[in-house]
């Protein structure tokens, strides 16, 4: 079993509230075990360019209440090549870094598995507000992001109600609609528009007009996930707002409609208890795994328990879920099932399919609840 004297931690990809709780947990757990922690700045860039600092428990003591990441983050193209990975491997050897913990999303895990294959033990921790890592029920930052959306929508609701308006609120999530779906239910959205499920725009607009005419509703909030028009103009929300106004005016009851893109606001802010807690648990688990001699794993939460998946498995599962379930109707043109599942036996593939099926069914069930509550069934 390798002896660990020093480990490195980096945060990469989009930042997420709770990443600092992860870093704090890693520093404190490693320190308890007599292991030093190098905080690597701006993800893999810091590793290649030797931009790092030894972190002591006092350096991270009060960081967990802060949003963002104290290690900063960046996307590093140079690392995404065999030469970049070799350079990173050499850097770890040169600096005596015996293992790496990488916090981020799927891109971060691809980088981590490359480094593991090169010979540096690595563990990944899911940190992204999008909650779009299929192997885990939870990614750090998700709860804070949803709560921020709820807070913003509540504010918008106040002014919508005063002015008898509709607000169309676009929220982040990249390709996944989890933030929009959950927060939409929590703010009593009239409709929740996601890429994962079809919806009837005309029926939604008509419903608002009918409700307004019969005095059943004065204000409306529509929550939509970003990128709904695929590679379109990127103005879908604005266009929908104009459509609501035009249709309602045609029927003699104008519903004034505004569009709000919450964008990066959703990524900032002090992490909630959930993000601090799960971040702390995952950070502690990652150190334990490395010290036990494990590598090439991603820490996950499933059914309330902290567990792991192999990174290769987690990435293939994710690709399967997105292309064969969530976005079955518009899979990536690059998707190749055989290539994605190379090296997995039939029993494992069956298990992956069942897992994806269940995950997608759970989302569908929740979407149905959302529609029932919004009287859109």
Catalytic positions, please?
130
Residue 45 lies near ligand F6P (rule: CB under 6 A) = no
- Interface residue with ligand F6P, options 8, 14, 18, 127 (CB under 6 A): 14
Which residue among 6, 66, 110, 174 contacts ligand F6P (CB under 6 A)? Answer: 174
**Which residue in the set 91, 157, 212, 267 belongs to the binding site for ligand F6P (CB under 6 A)?**
267
At 144, list the tokens: 């804070």
**Residue with structure tokens 């509709």?**
166
Query: Per CB under 6 A, does 19 bind ligand F6P?
Result: no
| Shortest reach from residue 79's CB to ligand F6P, in Å | 17
As measured in angstroms, the least distance from the Cβ of 130 to ligand F6P is 5
Helix (H, G, I), strand (E, B) or coil at 317: helix
The answer to whether 14 and 73 have CB atoms below 8 angstroms apart is yes
Query: How many CB atoms lie under 10 A from the CB of residue 167?
Result: 24
Residue 68 touches ligand F6P, criterion: CB under 6 A: no
* Binding of ligand F6P by 312 (CB under 6 A): no
Strands 36-40 vs 6-11: parallel, antiparallel or unpaired: parallel
- Report the alpha-carbon distance of residue 18 to residue 25 in Å, rounded: 11
Least distance (Å) between residue 208 CB and ligand F6P: 27
Residue 130 interacting with ligand F6P (CB under 6 A): yes
In the bound state with ligand F6P, the residue whose beta carbon lies nearer, of 168 and 217, is 168
Contact range with ligand F6P by CB under 6 A, out of 45-53, 122-130, 212-220, 299-307:
122-130
Binding mask 209-228 for ligand F6P (x = CB under 6 A): -----------------x--
Q: How far is Cα 324 from Cα 2, in angstroms, rounded to an integer?
A: 39
In the complex, the smallest distance separating the C-beta of residue 14 from ligand F6P, rounded to whole angstroms, is 3
* DSSP 8-state symbol, 127: B
Decide if 51 contacts 88 (C-beta within 8 A): no
CB closer to ligand F6P, 130 vs 285: 130
Q: How far is the CB of 32 from ligand F6P (least distance, A)?
A: 32
Beta carbons of 256 and 166 less than 8 angstroms apart: yes
Q: Which of 43, 126, 127, 173 binds ligand F6P (CB under 6 A)?
A: 173
**Cβ 16 vs Cβ 129: under 8 Å:** yes
Sequence-distant contacts of 75-82: CB under 8 A, at least 24 apart:
75/12, 75/13, 75/43, 75/107, 76/12, 76/42, 76/43, 76/44, 76/45, 76/48, 78/45, 78/48, 79/43, 79/44, 79/45, 79/47, 79/48, 79/111, 80/111
Q: Which residue among 40, 47, 71, 129 contacts ligand F6P (CB under 6 A)? A: 129
Residue 195 makes contact with ligand F6P by CB under 6 A: no
Q: For 43, phi and psi rounded to 5 degrees?
A: 60, -140
How many residues sit close enough to ligand F6P to count as binding (CB under 6 A)? 10
Binding pattern for the stretch 77-116 against ligand F6P, x by CB under 6 A and - elsewhere: ----------------------------x-----------
Q: Kind and range of the H or E element at 142?
A: helix 142-163
Residues that bind ligand F6P (CB under 6 A): 14, 105, 128-130, 172-174, 226, 267
């Amino acid at each position: 079993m390798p002896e660990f004297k020093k480990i490195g931690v980096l945060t990469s990809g989009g930042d997420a509230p709770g990443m600092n709780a992860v870093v704090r947990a890693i520093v404190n757990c490693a320190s308890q075990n007599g292991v030093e922690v190098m905080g690597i700045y701006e993800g893999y860039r810091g590793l290649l360019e030797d931009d790092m600092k030894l972190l002591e428990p006092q350096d991270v003591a009060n960081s967990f209440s802060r949003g963002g990441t104290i290690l900063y983050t960046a996307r590093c193209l140079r690392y995404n090549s065999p030469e970049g990975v070799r350079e990173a491997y050499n850097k770890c050897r040169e600096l005596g870094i015996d293992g790496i913990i990488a916090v981020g999303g799927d891109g971060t895990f691809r980088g981590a598995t490359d480094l593991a294959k090169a010979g540096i033990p690595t563990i990944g921790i899911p940190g992204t507000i999008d909650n779009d890592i299929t192997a885990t029920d939870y990614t750090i930052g998700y709860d804070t992001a949803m709560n921020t959306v709820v807070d913003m929508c509540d504010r918008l609701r106040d002014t919508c109600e005063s002015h008898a308006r509709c607000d169309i609120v676009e929220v982040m999530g990249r390709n996944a609609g989890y933030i929009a779906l959950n927060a939409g239910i929590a703010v009593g959205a009239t409709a929740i528009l996601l890429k994962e499920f079809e919806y009837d725009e005309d029926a939604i607009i008509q419903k608002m007009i009918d409700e307004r005419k019969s005095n059943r509703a004065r204000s409306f909030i529509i929550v939509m996930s970003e990128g709904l028009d695929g590679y379109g103009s990127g103005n879908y929300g604005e266009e929908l707002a104009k459509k609501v106004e035009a249709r309602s005016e045609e029927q003699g009851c104008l519903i004034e409609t505004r569009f709000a893109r919450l964008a990066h606001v959703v990524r900032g802010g002090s992490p909630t208890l959930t993000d601090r807690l799960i971040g702390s648990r995952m950070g502690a688990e990652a150190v334990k795994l490395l010290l036990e001699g494990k590598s090439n794993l991603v820490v996950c939460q499933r059914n309330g328990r902290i567990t792991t998946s192999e990174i290769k498995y987690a990435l293939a599962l994710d690709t399967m879920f997105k292309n064969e379930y969530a976005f079955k109707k518009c899979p990536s043109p690059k998707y190749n099932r055989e290539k994605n599942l190379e090296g997995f036996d039939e029993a494992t593939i069956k298990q992956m399919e069942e897992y994806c099926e269940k995950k997608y069914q759970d989302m569908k069930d929740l979407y149905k609840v959302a529609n029932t509550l919004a009287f859109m069934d």
